[in-house]
């Protein structure tokens, strides 16, 4: 369980000129972490009860109750985020991380959020999808003055409807979003028995353009990103989602990238039960294995963990499950390169030609400083050839309720794993010439290997 003590880093903050030191006592303490380890759900210590969510490679922000109001303290600041082991990025975020911590409240709660700006430029916070007073919507220049460096602003409103939301700046948005400023917001139903699930995961889709050897994202990139991430983590750095066999699982995904993402789950069907506009009516739901999430949208899916195993969960755009991509490499499939490669290697040690399967390439080859292999990740049967927006849904029969620890790789029962055929392949048979029109329309009959073709 998270607590203020667990993440406490200090209560000193920079505030706008003219604010007396005595006023600092009125601010909630700053709770922060620089760890990318997924924390277990934060069980509410006070206020109305709810089933807490688990943030993939993230955590939930604690609050204090004051006069019946839930008070949170967000700090916008430069952060260092480990994208995956071997690569760190210099980003902007909140409370030590990008994305920032998840905020959880209950429908009807009165909420007060203090936002302190430790960035080198002005900012604001927009509460994406929320019903609130116009002056609290967070668009700098339209609804409020921007929050200058060193200032602390206060947002206060009631959580009017249950659902899944996001928060992000609406000030120099192109720069600040590209630098990782975003976070998740969940408003639980006031009825804790409404749409109950056993596990409730949340994470954001985000993308970065960080050149190999560098640490800071390019902020003018529109679509040509080289790092596609779940909650600012790329596989194999992404934590698995785990569930006990038979449990009801909800996964809420918000998209704050610059393109859509078809999110796909293996081995199970799910239904879309929620959008940023609210919960979908049961009569409007149908089974899917992939749901497309457009820019600025959120989707909540639910399924029953019906089959044990390690099931892939990923974006179905193939280049979104890759890291540190080079988009200008030509296609050399079918080109004989051995002689040329030997000559180049004598001049450029470590040169690697392209055109073969990625799994045939040396995954441990030298890389530039602070970057990741294009596809990587070792599974129980070898190279997984994945990266980016990829993780694993691990379902186990013997997993304890409320246990979010990685159970390791699935041990498949004997005889249930695909295996190589040891016998001789069937002979290849090809007909000669063009079949008569009457034969073209005749149905084929099933034949055994080695038998002659019958019409």
Instruction: Report d(CA 102, CA 435) in Å as an integer.
Output: 66
* 110-117/152-158 β-pairing: antiparallel
Ranges of the chain with pLDDT below 70: 1-25, 325-335, 337, 340-341, 345, 347-365, 432-455
Q: Give the model's pLDDT for residue 292.
A: 98
Q: Tell me the CA distances in angstroms from 42 to 33, 131, 292, 358, one per residue in order.
A: 14, 25, 29, 41
Enter the tokens of residue 102. 């998840």
From the list 114, 113, 181, 118, the residue with the least C-alpha distance to 149 is 118
From the list 133, 139, 134, the residue with the least C-alpha distance to 159 is 133
CA angle 269–275–280, rounded 5-degree value: 70
Q: Tell me the CA distances in angstroms from 107 to 48, 49, 154, 162, one per residue in order.
A: 9, 11, 20, 5
- Total residues belonging to the chain: 455
Instruction: Report d(CA 208, CA 6) in Å as an integer.
Output: 30
Q: Torsion angle of alpha carbons 39, 216, 384, 378, nearest 10°?
A: -60
Q: Give the model's pLDDT for residue 11.
A: 31
- Look up the pTM and report it: 0.84
Q: Give the model's pLDDT for residue 358.
A: 45
DSSP states along 79-142: EEEEEETTEEEEEEEETTBSS--BEEEETT-EEEEEEEE-SSS-B--EEET----GGGS--BTT
Mean pLDDT of the chain: 86
Q: Give the model's pLDDT for residue 249.
A: 98
Q: Give the model's pLDDT for residue 377.
A: 79
Q: Give the model's pLDDT for residue 350.
A: 55
- List pLDDT tens digits, range 77-122: 999 999 999 999 999 999 999 999 999 999 999 999 999 999 999 9
Per DSSP, what are the bridge partners of residue 233? 230
Q: Torsion angle of alpha carbons 176, 145, 294, 210, nearest 10°?
A: 0
- List pLDDT tens digits, range 170-192: 999 999 999 999 999 999 999 99
Instruction: Work out the widest C-alpha separation in the chain, in whole angstroms.
Output: 96
Q: Tell me the CA distances in angstroms from 454 to 291, 445, 449, one per residue in order.
A: 44, 7, 13
């Amino acid at each position: 369980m998270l607590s203020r003590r667990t993440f406490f880093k200090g209560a000193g903050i920079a505030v706008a000129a003219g604010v007396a030191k005595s006023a600092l006592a009125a601010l909630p303490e700053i709770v922060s972490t620089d760890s990318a380890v997924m924390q277990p759900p934060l069980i509410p210590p006070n206020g109305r009860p709810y089933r807490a969510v688990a943030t993939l490679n993230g955590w939930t922000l604690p609050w204090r109750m004051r006069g019946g109001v839930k008070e949170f303290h967000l700090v916008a600041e430069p952060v260092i985020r480990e994208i995956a082991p071997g690569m760190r990025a210099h980003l902007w975020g909140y409370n030590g991380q990008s994305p920032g911590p998840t905020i959880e409240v209950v429908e009807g709660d009165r909420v007060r959020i203090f936002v302190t700006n430790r960035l080198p430029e002005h900012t604001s916070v927009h509460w994406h999808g929320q019903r609130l007073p116009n002056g609290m919507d967070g668009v700098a220049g339209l609804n409020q003055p921007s929050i200058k460096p060193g200032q602390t602003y206060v947002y206060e409103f009631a959580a009017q409807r249950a659902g899944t939301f996001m928060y992000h700046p609406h000030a120099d948005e192109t720069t600040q979003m590209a630098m990782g400023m975003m976070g998740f917001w969940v408003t639980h139903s006031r009825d804790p028995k409404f749409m109950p699930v056993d596990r409730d995961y949340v994470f954001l889709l985000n993308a970065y353009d960080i050149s190999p050897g560098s640490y800071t994202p390019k902020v003018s990139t529109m679509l040509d990103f080289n790092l596609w991430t779940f909650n600012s983590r790329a596989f194999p750095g992404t934590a698995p989602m785990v569930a006990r066999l038979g449990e009801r699982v909800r996964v809420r995904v918000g998209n704050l990238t610059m393109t859509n993402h078809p999110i796909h789950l293996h081995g199970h069907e799910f239904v879309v039960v929620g959008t940023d506009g609210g919960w979908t009516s049961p009569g409007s739901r149908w089974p899917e294995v992939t749901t497309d999430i457009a820019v600025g949208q959120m989707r909540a899916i639910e399924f029953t963990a019906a089959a044990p195993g390690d099931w892939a969960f990923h974006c179905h755009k193939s280049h979104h499950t890759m890291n540190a991509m080079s988009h200008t490499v030509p296609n050399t499939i079918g080109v004989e390169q051995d002689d040329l490669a030997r000559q180049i290697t004598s001049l450029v040690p470590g040169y690697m030609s392209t055109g073969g399967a990625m799994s045939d390439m040396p995954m441990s080859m030298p890389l530039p400083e602070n970057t990741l292999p294009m596809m990587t990740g070792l599974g129980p049967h070898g190279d997984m050839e994945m990266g980016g927006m990829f993780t694993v849904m691990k379902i186990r029969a013997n997993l304890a309720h409320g246990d979010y620890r990685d159970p390791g790789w699935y041990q498949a029962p004997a005889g249930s794993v695909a295996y190589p055929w040891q016998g001789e392949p069937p002979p290849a048979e090809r007909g000669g010439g063009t079949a008569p029109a009457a034969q073209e329309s005749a149905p084929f009959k099933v034949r055994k290997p080695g038998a002659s073709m019958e019409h």
